[in-house]
Structure 1
Amino acid sequence: MTTPRGARGAVPRHDDRRRSFPQVAPREAPDGRFAATWWGNAWVEALEDTALDPARLARGKAYAGRGHVDAITVTPGRVVAYVHGSRPRPYRTEIRMRTLGDDGWERFLDEATARPDHIAALLDKDVPHALEAVTGLLPAPGDLVPDCSCPDDGYPCKHAAALCYQAARLLDEDPFVLFLMRGRGEQELLAELTRRNAALSAAETTAAAPPMPTVPARAVFEAAERAGLTLPPPLPAPDRPGRPAVFPPDPDAPDPLALDLLASEAAVRAHAFLTTGHDPVAALTPWQDAVRLAAAHPGSGLTASTRALYRDLAYALDRTPTDLARAVAAWRQGGAAGLAVLEEPWDPPAGPFDRARPALIAADFPAFRPWRNRLSTESLQLRLGRDGLWYGYESDAGREDWWPRGAPDHDPVGALTDLLGR
């Protein structure tokens, strides 16, 4: 008998827009709420706020707590599971919701790639409030439509309520489940975030890269001519370092990404030494070098392999991936000087620092509070570096979570204008 194609021995195709989750145990948050994250509780509240019978919600929560919800399948716009009730046969229960359109996803991707802390938060399974604010990822009251095969016509019935509560547990564990509910799979999103982040970082690097210096050899040749020596013409230095070979994956070989990284770094250092006579890495500390390495690879932390590199660099120096992401943003802002501004507050002498606040007020900017080399509002900050440049920082209002943004400038008004994109 001929085996139909795909019926035996075929490798199943991964469907990024369909995920099934085994039955999960409930976990009540310390404050007594069913979900542990703000977005998980927002999901539950969207259904609770439109419920017509609080008693059915209470029974649904009890059903979820006793493990009556079987495996859950999530596809765009739909969450489905079988829920056990009082009868022997479980009921097919689902919750439907609207998916985001292309415009909504464009706003999400633009906002996520605009700030390194947003990418770091997503990789740490966290959803920044700013992403929700610009895209409306979470459902509003009335957006969730329950449906169940049981005879109860309540809105929702206790089976749909149980599914809603248990689905909140999935959102707690992995916010990419929420993105799938809204229409995009995890790998699809990570690939697009990687592409946009790489393009943005490459454009910033190209705009900020100084011209490559050269080392004149005229004195050497003139000395050789005076001695009567005839030297062959020197080979011209290449315009840029060469690219390493492509290393195919091999389970018994070192990590291909690590090999590519080492080969690329060796080529860059050799080229710099050839053209300048100076090794730009020799004077760096291990932490500075790790930050430099991560900053040189715009996609770090987005794909599986580069995410591991990002994590390992931080772990090797007893830092967190978020620490490294913040340091990378500072390095891209101003190199080693920018990293020093991030990590080393200092007391500047009287002069430019004292003149900054009157200049900002004259330019109609809000009043800034001084502390050491920093001027701050609730969400904006300027830091004076030892190099005389002003560096812009931004934080969510009410949080001391400052991230480097914009280009440094000798003028505080110019640095703040660039930060605000005026």
Structure 2
Amino acid sequence: MAAVRQFGSTWWGRAWVDALEGRAKLDPNRLARGRTYARQDRVARVEVGPGKITALVRGNRALPYKVTIDVPTYGDDDWVRLAAVIAKRSGIAAALLDGELDPAVIDDAEAAGVRLLPGPGDLKPRCSCPDWADPCKHAAAVCYLVADALDADPFVLFTLRGGTKEGLMGLVRAQRAWDAQQAAAGDRPGAAGSGSSEAPAVGPGGTGRMVAAAFGGGAVVDPGMVAREAWARSLAPHPERRELPRAPGTPSTWPADPPRDAPFTAAGLTDLASDAARRAWAQLAEGSPSYLDLDEQTDLARRAADRLGRLESLLELSRRVGASSAQLTHQALAWRSAGPAGLEAIEEALWRPPTEVIDQGLDAFDEAGIDPDDVQVRSNRLTSGDVQLRVSSDGQWWRFERRGRVWELVEPPAPTPSDLLSGG
């Protein structure tokens, strides 16, 4: 006889189920029917977002019922307090990144005034069915399946609370950096912040701005300390500084290959180590950014740019990430021309600039010896032969050139279109 499927195989998944069942004490029969619906695969399109879970549940009628479950989200101060709790215990952050939720974080967070796991009153289900129960069997079925998502990834809890994995860990890193700065300042007589016990969490600048940057689509809170500054600072005793090498170093060969079931390879680890060495060296030697705040797609373009001119290496990266080599090359050329701004330029949708802006572009073609009547104007793009100028919504002008069937970005932007056509 097959075992009956249970929900909540981890302690945090079980805590979610307990919150659901605690809400439904007045009518436990709905829970049993909800579990049956979940086991019968009647639930589809479960989506977990900030403060909300939505799904469709197939009942006894032709059209499925729509279920929405609201969960309270955190405010800025809650996120900052939670980041401070995690920053104090390195084991908590390590466990989270490894897909585990350390029970200590629950007690520590609650002591700081932040409740991580929802209580019985936190889940507010709504369903399009006529059943008056709270929750109805359809909403209960959805809640049980959310326990599966939590079992697989505890960061789903933070998503429900209105945050992201990257944003939370960015706040944690920023908190640790701030703590280190305060500790260093306290060791220097007369330094700002010395002896202060009221330093704001996550550094100066206001918690709202820090949290908005982490979760609102802006730059990640902690882009990493510039290596040149880290090299010069005296946060702790360190060996005598050596002269900066002329080129980044090469990682040593791994003593053994990783296990066959590992989610990485020895070559992949070497690639990451080499990339880290190149970025650190560029920070020290040239003052380049760390680029630790890039999203996955932008960072992929940066890595591809390092492989331009090395076809096999570019194709290997393409195979590894499952992306088209042509698209990777397109994005890599944009990165090489203008970094992250170049990627934004090639992806910006068509828009209609003011007439005077278009006239400025036509005048630039005229000055370059090209009859404006021969220039094709389409929204924010002006094309003559194999040369195209685009004006972005921030007022910058960009030069593209046709290579095969693709328009490639070929140089950094300019404030005026004539700067991009002089000599060309």
Alignment TM-score, normalising by the size of structure 2: 0.44
